[in-house]
Every structure is written in C-alpha cells, then in structure tokens.
Amino acid sequence: MSNNKQYLSLVEYSQFNTFLEALEMTHWDIYAMLDKALFPKSFNLHEGDGVILTERVYSVFNLLEEQLTEAKLVQFLSVVAQKNAEKILQALPLDDISNVEGVVTCFINETFRSAPDSQFSLIDTLGNNWLVRHTLPHNDNLSIIECYLLKLFQELISATTQVVWQPKRIFLQSPHNQEKTHKRCKKLFNNNGLQLISERGVTGIELPEDTLKTNINVYHPRYAFTQTEADLGKNMRTISAALRYVLPHYLSGGRPSLDFSAEICGLHSRTLKRRLRKEGVTYTALLDEIIISLAKDALLHSDQNITDISISLGYDHPNHFSRMFKRLTGLSPRHYRNSH
C-alpha cells in the first residue's frame, strides 16, 4: 500500500453511480462486489448522498480486471466515459466560452476547485498542446485507470463539438503491461494507427491547435459547481478532514478500527497514525469526535430513540453508547436531549 499520501481524495456517490449503472449491464452481483471493495454498508446504488474514498473506486477497478472479459471491460469503460463526459459538461459554467480550448481550461479550473488533487493541466510539448493528468496513484491496475481517463478526455471533446473526435497521439504513465494497455487503448478508440507514448509521467491526449480553436456546440442547462462541492474539495487537503466525511458511512457496521480505516485509505496503519499525529489528532479522538457530533445531531434533530441512535453509530448495546457519550460530554444522552 502507498505510504506517501499527505491527504485523501474523495468521490461523491452521485459521480460513482455512473460506474454502477454501467456495471449493471454485466449482470454482476454489484452489492457483493462493493462489499469486497470495502464500500460502506450504507451505500445505495440509486439514491443517497455521501462520499467515498477514491481508493475504494480503484479497488473496484482491480476487481473489474479479475472478473470482466477484455471485450466487456472495453465496453464498460466506453459507456462510463461517455456518460461522465456529459455530466462534466452539464456542470461547467460555459456561458462566456466559445471554443474547445475554453471548455478544456474551464474543466481544469473547476475540477481543481472541487478536487484539488486532480492535477489536470494543458501543456505544450512535442510540438503540440496536450490535455493531461499528472501523477496517478500507484495501483495494480493503472492500465484501467489510464484507459478510462483517456477515453473520458476524448468523449469530453466529442461532446463539446458534437462531432466524433479522435486523438492521434496519447501519453501513458505506466511502464507496466504496456502491450496490454496499448491493445486496450486501440480497442477503446477503435484506431489501430493510434500512437501511444509510454513512460511520460503524465496521462493525456494530444490536442492540435485547430481542435482547440473549434467552436463548441453544446446545448444543455449551464450551472457552476455548488458551494458544497467546492468546500468538499478544499477540505480534502488533510487526512483527518477526509475521514470526517467518510467514516460516518461505515459506523452502522460497528466502530471502525484503526487497521480497517487504514485499509480503506490505502495506507499502512502506522502511516495513518503518523499522518493524523502530524495534523494534531489521534485516531481514537477523531473517531470519538465524529460519533459525538452525529449523536448530538440525532438527539436534537430527530425523534429516534437512544437505542436506535446507538445502533446507527455502531454500538450493539445502548449502555456502552451512553457511557461513552457521558464520558465525553459530561451528560447522558437523555439529559443532553432534555437540556437543549
């Protein structure tokens, strides 16, 4: 597992649902797959708000490699990229933008605002412009992640111009499984003449000047990212803040241990402890803070009885929950509810 992360990346449930919609066509037991990928039990395929660690999404990619035939995998990546490109365009503020270059720049800026670790940029190299993503995470199946990103870039340009557009050259980061990745990309783009340049340190597609200057032809409601999405991106800059978003969704399965939380983060438990200590908090204190905050909110703003609240927060016995609550607040749950 990687040990060099200074912060954790999050994905909203609504964004990941595109992957699940496409997976349904494979006739897979999706809930079994999500359990294996360590998704929270509260995750719902078709509704609900929340966030999931990007590491969990990557674990789904790993399972895809194991379970799907190459043809099915290519079909899956194509469908997801097309749908997500459309979602991206619907969320971009394009009122004053007239060409592809403006859309690409807007995509880079807005994505960074909601996801600061995205590392997308437009660079000038090898005599042309390239839309790229810089350092991708170390992952057993970087090939799938790279192929998806490349297809997403292509679909974003095609959806912007309403013309089927194909890149001529592609950058790949992964030095591993090059032959498989090259074959997969050529199938994804249906282009045997596609030139793939490996071990570049970035993943991206070439965007010639005439492509960048092409007028856009997008018809859809235009609106900016919400403030919540922007705040979510800002708060991903620390591991403790990301865990405050993520861990509440795991509490119904019991109080998550340090080892479990490290696993879902893709970190060693010692690394997680060290990162949190640098941020001035221990794992136990952070988890207590999360539970107490949720408990107070439920006590004051819901009609749930104390037993149901304790179960939703991972406590099998209400007495254990009540003792923890009183130890940290000085009041029993019942007295806290009655005194506010």
DSSP letter string over 25-72? Answer: GGT--HHHHHHHTT--TT--SSS---EEEHHHHHHHHHHHHHHS-HHH
- Give the C-alpha separation, 79 to 183, whole Å: 18
Q: Please say if the pLDDT value at position 236 is more than 70.
A: no
Domain ranges of the chain: 10-227, 282-339
- Give the C-alpha separation, 14 to 12, whole Å: 5
Mean pLDDT, residues 124-139 taken together: 85
Residue 82, C-beta contacts closer than 8 angstroms, at least 6 positions apart: 155, 159
Say what the pLDDT of residue 243 is.
92
Say what the pLDDT of residue 2 is.
45
Residue-averaged pLDDT of the chain? 84
CA torsion, ordered 245, 250, 286, 324, to nearest 10 deg: 130
Q: For the chain, what percent of residues have pLDDT higher than 70?
A: 84
Say what the pLDDT of residue 217 is.
83
Measure CA 241 to chain center: 15
Lowest mean pLDDT among 94-98, 139-143, 243-247: 139-143
Helices and strands: H and E segment counts in the chain: 16, 7
Lowest mean pLDDT among 63-67, 113-117, 193-197: 113-117
Q: Which one has a higher pLDDT value, 13 or 320?
A: 320
Say what the pLDDT of residue 116 is.
59
Q: Which one has a higher pLDDT value, 288 or 217?
A: 288
Binned at pLDDT 50, 70 and 90, residue 223 comes out as: very low
Q: Please say if the pLDDT value at position 140 is more than 60.
A: no
Binned at pLDDT 50, 70 and 90, residue 230 comes out as: very low
DSSP letter string over 74-121? Answer: HHHHHHHHHHHHHHHHHHS--TT--BHHHHHHHHHHHHHHH-TT--EE
By CB neighbour count within 10 A (0-12 exposed, 13-18 middle, 19+ buried), where does 66 fall? exposed
Binned at pLDDT 50, 70 and 90, residue 235 comes out as: very low
Residue with token string 């099998």: 316
Look up the pTM and report it: 0.72
Binned at pLDDT 50, 70 and 90, residue 229 comes out as: very low
Lowest mean pLDDT among 34-38, 144-148, 179-183, 236-240: 236-240
Q: For the chain, what percent of residues have pLDDT higher than 90?
A: 43
Q: What is the largest CA-CA distance in the chain?
A: 72
Question: What pLDDT digit, counting tens, does each position of 70-92 carry?
Answer: 888 898 899 889 988 988 888 88
Question: What pLDDT digit, counting tens, does each position of 150-200 carry?
Answer: 999 999 999 999 888 999 999 988 665 678 888 888 899 988 888 988 877
Could you say which of 1.10.3720.10, 1.10.10.60, 3.90.1150.110, 3.10.20.600 is the CATH number of the domain covering 282-339? 1.10.10.60
Binned at pLDDT 50, 70 and 90, residue 40 comes out as: confident
Say what the pLDDT of residue 218 is.
66
Evaluated on CA atoms 195, 199, 202, 203, the torsion sign reads positive
Q: Please say if the pLDDT value at position 274 is more than 70.
A: yes
